[in-house]
Structure 1
Amino acid sequence: MLNAPQLQAAYILHTRPYRDTSLLIDAFTAQHGRISLIAKGARGIRGKKSRFKGTLQAFVPLLLSWRGKTDLLSLINAEPHMFPLPPLTGPLLACGFYLNELLTYLLYRYDPYPELFHAYQTTLYRLFDNPMFALRLFEKKLLAELGYALSLNKESRTHQALLPHQFYQFIPSQGLVDCFNQSIPQQFIFSGASLLAMHHESWDTPSHLLDAKRLFRLALNYLLEGKTIRSRELFIPS
Structure 2
Amino acid sequence: MHQRPFSESSQIINLFSRHFGRVDVIAKGSKRPKSKFKSFLQPFLPILVSWSGRSQLKTLRSIDLNIKQKTTLPNKQLMSAFYLNELILSLLTTTDPYPELFDCYALTIDKLSDIDSSESVLRTFEINLLSQIGYAINFQTEAMSSNEIEAEQVYRFVVEEGFIRSNTTTPHHSLIKGSIIKAIEKGDYSTSQILKAAKRITRESIKYHLSGKELNTKKVFRSIHKSN
TM-score (norm 2): 0.90
Is residue 2:29 matched to residue 1:22? no
**Paired AA for residue 204 in structure 2:** L
Pairwise CA distance, 1:222: 1.1
Asked whether the equivalents of residues 169 and 177 of structure 1 are also in contact (C-alpha less than 8 Å), the reply is: yes
**Is 1:118 the counterpart of 2:93 in the alignment?**
no
Q: What is the 5 A alignment of 1:75-224?
A: 75-81=60-66, 82-90=68-76, 92-127=77-112, 128-129=114-115, 130-180=117-167, 186-187=173-174, 189-224=175-210
Structure 1 counterpart of 2:52, from 47, 52, 67: 67
Number of residue pairs aligned between Structure 1 and Structure 2: 220
AA partner of residue 197 (structure 1): A
Question: Structure 2: 5+ residue runs without aligned partners?
Answer: none
Query: Which stretch has the larger CA shift, 122-131 or 32-41?
Result: 122-131
Bigger relative contact order, structure 1 or 2 (CA pairs below 8 A, ≥6 apart): 1
TM superposition shift of 1:230: 1.6
CA contact (8 A) 1:163 1:193 kept: yes
Structure 1 residue 52: Cα displacement: 0.8
Identity of aligned residues (%): 33
Q: Indicate conservation of the 8 Å contact 1:42/1:51, yes or no.
A: yes
Q: Deviations over 1:37-74 (max 9, x none)?
A: 11000001xxx511112111110110010000111100
Give per-residue Cα distances to partners, 1:135-181, cap 9 Å, x unaligned: 11101110110111111121022221111221111111211111247
Deviates more, 1:61-70 or 1:150-159: 150-159
Paired residue secondary structure (1:87): coil
1:30 and 1:113 in contact (8 A); partners too: yes
Residue 33 of structure 1: how far off its partner (Å): 0.3
Runs of 4+ in 1 over 6 A off after TM superposition: none
TM-fit CA distance, 1:182? 8.8
Q: How far, CA to CA, are the matches of 2:203 and 2:119 in structure 1?
A: 13
- Alpha-carbon distance in structure 2 between the residues aligned to 1:207 and 1:235: 21
Letter in 1 for 2:217: S
What is the RMSD computed on CA atoms of the aligned residues?
2.1
Contact 1:63/1:78 (<8 A) preserved: yes
Match of 1:225, as an amino acid? Answer: S
Question: Of 28, 35, 38, which aligns to 1:53?
Answer: 38
Q: Equivalent of 1:41, from 21, 26, 29?
A: 29
Q: Residue 235 of structure 1: CA displacement? A: 3.5
